[in-house]
Chains A and B, each alone.
Chain A
Amino acid sequence: MQRLKIRPITIYGLNTALTFIITFLIFSIFTPDHLFLDPRNLASMAKLTPDIGVVALGIGILMIAGEFDLSIASIIPFCSYIFTQFIMNGMDPLLAFILIFPIGATFGLINGLLVVSTGLPSFIITLSTMLFWKGLLFGLSRMMPISILKYVSDTPIEKILTGQIGPVPIQIIWFGIFAVILGLLLHQTKFGNWIYATGSNQEAARAMGINVRMVKTVCYMIIGVLCAWAAVMQAVRLGSFAATQGIGFELKTIAAVVVGGTALTGGVGSMLGIVLGIFIIRIVENGLILLKAPVFGVEMFIGVAVVIFVLLNSFVNRRLVRLNS
């Protein structure tokens, strides 16, 4: 009875794994002196990737539920701004860090409620909230950086968010923890099944008694919390609030998640795929710079890479589905 079982949901992760390995090998071999594999390079990637990676995990889940969130590009700097304001007003950094989560969740809640109550495409709603919060933030902060270095240096929060365990930057460990928790949520729990059902066929999900509005709103709130985490993690690493935090994340997260095998139309994707998609984008970016591609032109190559990866993904998926049936 226990024949070879092909599980459709893990398949999506597996072919991304193949892409990941090939990408990793290409840059390991072809970068000068195998610079890509240099421990310092790997450590720097492990330190920087989670800034966007943590948020992209949430974006992936939301896209499986069939919605988008562009407003992360403003929620991240806004959370960072609020965090620094708390500290500048004498609050303990650890307390400020804890308080930032309900605030991030509230940003998400607002997005979620707007999306489910208006019935407008989430792309439009979150484009609007992105612009709204950005405008408000630029007005409030006048785009001036605010240094918090003296408040956070050598504090527990610095160790928790930007420290190291042996040679391993702690950021990548946090990223792993988030990925595991969200992966369990997505693949093993009832709520995860509701996320897939909502994205795959909203009408069917509703007919079976799933509260699709609640599912979507919770997904937005998860993203809000992840944005809060990423905002503080980045602010503490930089020692400063910067109005430019999170710029471009709104589209780069979509690119990463799609490279990871997530469908823009919802219902398809996996946590493994999302994680690997994030790394693939990062590796391409990093590897190209090591290959001395012009720094400002790197995005051009990433654009090409995204299309190639997605084509590859859909080709492999079609083959697998045919094998499966």
Chain B
Amino acid sequence: MSANSGNSEVLLRMEGIHKWFGKVHALKGVDFEVKKGEVVGLVGDNGAGKSTLIKVISGYHRANEGKIYWVGQEVKISSPKDSRALGVETLYQEQALAPHLSIARNVFMGREPSRALGFMDKQTMNNDSMEALAAIGLHLRSPDVMVSTLSGGERQGVAIARAIHFEAKMVILDEPTIALSVKEVQEVLDFVQELKEKGIAVIFITHNLYHVYSVADRIVVIAHGQELANMQTKDTSVDQISKIIVRGTLGEEV
């Protein structure tokens, strides 16, 4: 595993990212890096700038300053479309799926395979969506099942299967385990493992250090719009990270 030199290749590098919202300086020169196939845990308190940072990557916000490199090439990400074109899939909690639509229609939402006159190729949609789910170990009854009838973990699975099917290079998971039962959390963590095994990089944003600790290769702590710590998971502990987060916050307030 360690001999896999491809893994050390840098997929995403961000340098000196600044973001202002009016007078609020949300990101103060953040440097951030994700290697190919790496799982990076992004943690920090509310309002630390985690969400702003990933929204810059996913194209919802534009950085006021700073540079973004994708596989070594400088890129401009000015819309979600740009981000997706690079191979970044962002799965926001409750924003990834359309609850009233079937699994197949969700997997292919916005990218429906079609024939003449825009008619959907439903056969392909049904077969491919079930295949994509099976690939991450999720076996659901039928591609016609409405997403709102699925459990929270299964829904995350559908969104992740979609990312894999469209050959994402990096998946951003924004609080994927929030409001899930213990069993469902384990399902989602297993999905993250699947992504990693397929060589897909993951940015895992969470409040729950235990969830991220069990899957991340590296953990980055953000506080007050700056990077506070950046550690290999194996060199740290949940206790240590939690102390850094708390101390970082206190340190600024004093």
Is chain B a partner of chain A in the same complex? yes
Which residues on A are within 8 Å of B, measured CB to CB?
Answer: 3, 5-9, 184, 188-194, 196-197, 199-201, 203-210, 263, 267-268, 321, 324-325
B95 touches A8 (CB 8 A): no
Q: Across the interface, which residues of B come within 8 angstroms of A9, CB to CB?
A: 102
Q: Mark B100-122, 1 if CB is under 8 A from A, else 0.
A: 11100100111110100111101
B111 touches A267 (CB 8 A): no
Q: Across the interface, which residues of A come within 8 angstroms of B105, CB to CB?
A: 193, 196-197
Asked whether A324 and B80 contact (CB < 8 A) given A200-B101, A203-B95, the answer is no
Q: Across the interface, which residues of B come within 8 angstroms of A205, CB to CB?
A: 98, 109-110
A197 touches B109 (CB 8 A): yes
Point out the residue from A191, A206, A209, A267 that lies within 8 Å of B100, measured CB to CB.
Answer: A267
Asked whether A8 and B144 contact (CB < 8 A) given A191-B118, A207-B80, the answer is yes
- Shortest Cβ-Cβ A-B pairs, 9 listed: A208-B110, A200-B98, A267-B100, A325-B149, A8-B146, A200-B100, A190-B112, A189-B118, A201-B98
Q: Across the interface, which residues of A come within 8 angstroms of B98, CB to CB?
A: 196-197, 200-201, 204-205, 267
A208 touches B118 (CB 8 A): no
Q: Across the interface, which residues of A come within 8 angstroms of B81, CB to CB?
A: 209
**Within the complex, what minimum Cβ distance (angstroms) separates A101 from chain B?**
20
How many angstroms between the C-alpha atoms of A290 and B144 in the bound complex?
43
**Within the complex, what minimum Cβ distance (angstroms) separates A124 from chain B?**
25
Q: Across the interface, which residues of B come within 8 angstroms of A188, CB to CB?
A: 119-120, 122
Q: Across the interface, which residues of B come within 8 angstroms of A203, CB to CB?
A: 92, 95
How many angstroms between the C-alpha atoms of A324 and B120 in the bound complex?
24
Point out the residue from B95, B102, B109, B146 that lies within 8 Å of A210, measured CB to CB.
Answer: B109
Q: Mark B72-83, 1 if CB is under 8 A from A, else 0.
A: 000000001100
Count chain B CB atoms within 10 A of each CB in A3, A203, A208, A267 and give the residue with the most.
A208
Given pairs A189-B117, A197-B110, 12 additional interface contacts (CB within 8 A): A3-B142, A7-B102, A193-B101, A193-B109, A200-B98, A201-B95, A207-B80, A207-B95, A207-B96, A267-B98, A324-B145, A324-B149
